Amino acid sequence: MKYRMLSVAHSKWLVGSVLVVSLLAYCTFVEWRGLAAMHLLGYDYGFFYYAFHAVLHHQPASTLYQFTREQEFMAKLHFPLYIHNQYVYPPQFAVLLSPLGSLPLQASTMLWTAISITAYFLGIYWIASTLWRRLSAKKFAFIFLCAAMLTPFQVDAGVGNVNNLLFALIALTVYLIYKKQKFWLAGIPIGLAIVFKVTPAAALVYLILRKQWRTGVSAMVTVMITTGITAVRLGPGAIWGYVSHFVQFGQTSMKNGPAPYNQSLLGVLGVFVKYHWINLSPSAQQALFGMFAACVAGLILVVVLRTHPNRDTDIVITSLVPLLFSPLVEEMHMVLVMPALIVLLHRLDNKLKEAKQRRSSAKGAWGLIAILAVSAILISLPVTFVLNSLVFRVPQLFWTQTNMFWVLAGLFTITVVLALHDNTRASHPRPQSVDFKGA
């Protein structure tokens, strides 16, 4: 009987796996075929390739950010013209990865895509390994398959952006801190993430607030060394030029439009204004975003001041803060919510194991299941396809395409609630019943 039950369970797992893999293959094919039809496969990487060429050919640092030259370069590569897109990343990124520009475009793009995909799954492995002492191959396969179905990963890999790599660097940082206790080494990946794209600096600030001093010092040294290398290669003017135009770059990118392009609060407010649901001036929208950022900062300070350092909480907030404080959150940026989803899965797994050991009902598990399932489904490729088709046919349903903002806000909120709840429970443990048998 036991053998028969195991055989049935194995068959169900096999059938389920085949269905998930089939759905994943179909969705990936549709997504990448769509990107190819719009000539967007490797589009973002085209700007990186331009910057790498500028470094390799010893062009003046100012050419890194010359819009006209960038667009001429992109036109030669047969990419479409979008007037609000250009290379907006730090010069350190271009210098450190410039060897990729020595390859022909197709080979360089393929190598970058392979690096992006590998980095994403390595990041998942590092987060999962930090949380679980041991994780079966089946559970790893389940996590990998579900993660591959998410829109942020697919879009980032398809257009050739850097977010999968940033996710991996942040994941490696928390892996080195909480799994390996190699605090000095942990600063190197987060330092690289900062010079690749400025927003991960928010993650470093949070780690410093959590008194990860050695990691903070190591990260700052990494930033200084890479900045020094860049200054030697391009001249100090390259660094100053980027800093002085940083805000302008962000403002230009935001001209691409509100949600679904921009999934920050500003993007949500912008699309509501666009469809006349609300009437807010741009300055009022900025003020509301400032209030939102202040509330987020306040909640983070509450967590820092009222709770002890906690691995699960710190992993989630470290990965979410680059998104929470950014006025521009594209779909592909949402790859940074992966640690939050994996932490929720780990918490659910512990709940179910605890209920099984106590032979009791797992009441608290249903809430976690709902939050985890809704969050993952809302940012999955099938839902993205459905929403795109729905809004195309019924424009009045535009609000459904603000889904990723609500996922981000919801994951942060539940993280804060759970952190405060766990701290309260730890401060006031349940009284233990006295066993008189041994007396």
Q: Which pLDDT value is given to residue 432?
A: 40
Q: Which of 178, 144, 158, 120 is nearest to 44 (CA)?
A: 158
Q: Which pLDDT value is given to residue 9?
A: 56
Q: Which pLDDT value is given to residue 18?
A: 84
Q: What are phi and psi of 429, to 5 degrees?
A: -65, 155
- 173 band by pLDDT with thresholds 50, 70 and 90: very high
Residue 232: partners with Cβ closer than 8 Å, 6 or more residues away: none
Cα–Cα distances (Å) from 404 to 141, 222, 262, in that order, read: 25, 32, 9
Q: How far apart are the C-alpha atoms of 330 and 262, rounded to whole Å?
A: 5
Q: Structure tokens of 285?
A: 């929208």
State yes or no: pLDDT of 74 exceeds 70: yes
Q: What is the dihedral of CA 377, 12, 130, 411, to 10 degrees?
A: 20
Q: What are phi and psi of 340, to 5 degrees?
A: -65, -40
Contact 324, 296 (CB under 8 A): yes
Rounded average pLDDT over 414-432: 73
Q: How far apart are the C-alpha atoms of 237 and 218, rounded to whole Å?
A: 25
Lowest mean pLDDT among 84-88, 123-127, 252-256, 361-365: 361-365
Q: Which pLDDT value is given to residue 430?
A: 47
The 10s digit of each residue's pLDDT in 217-243 is 999 999 999 999 999 999 988 999 899
Lowest mean pLDDT among 12-16, 206-210, 381-385: 12-16
State yes or no: pLDDT of 5 exceeds 80: no
State yes or no: pLDDT of 395 exceeds 60: yes
**H-state helical runs in 132-262:** 137-148, 151-159, 163-178, 183-196, 201-209, 213-234, 236-254
Relative orientation angle of helices 151-159 and 43-56, to the nearest 10 degrees = 40
Pick 109 or 429 by higher pLDDT. 109
Residue 189: partners with Cβ closer than 8 Å, 6 or more residues away: 169, 170, 172, 173, 176
Pick 154 or 350 by higher pLDDT. 154
Residue 259: partners with Cβ closer than 8 Å, 6 or more residues away: 267, 268, 270, 271, 398, 401, 402, 405
State yes or no: pLDDT of 384 exceeds 90: yes
pLDDT averaged over every residue in the chain = 92
Q: Structure tokens of 79?
A: 């990419």
* DSSP-assigned letter for residue 258: S
Cα–Cα distances (Å) from 170 to 47, 83, 116, in that order, read: 24, 31, 14
201-213 burial, b for 16+ CB within 10 Å, e for fewer?
Answer: bbbbbbbebbebe
Give the 3-state secondary structure percentages of the chain, helix then strand then coil, rounded to 5.
Answer: 80, 0, 20
Q: How far apart are the C-alpha atoms of 87 and 99, rounded to whole Å?
A: 17
- 12 band by pLDDT with thresholds 50, 70 and 90: low
Cα–Cα distances (Å) from 291 to 199, 266, 284, 285, in that order, read: 19, 12, 11, 10
Q: Which pLDDT value is given to residue 10?
A: 61
Q: Which of 353, 364, 381 is nearest to 418 (CA)?
A: 364
Pick 95 or 61 by higher pLDDT. 95
State yes or no: pLDDT of 434 exceeds 50: no
Rounded average pLDDT over 185-198: 98
Q: How far apart are the C-alpha atoms of 384 and 149, rounded to whole Å?
A: 11
The residues spanned by each domain of the chain are: 20-98+105-422
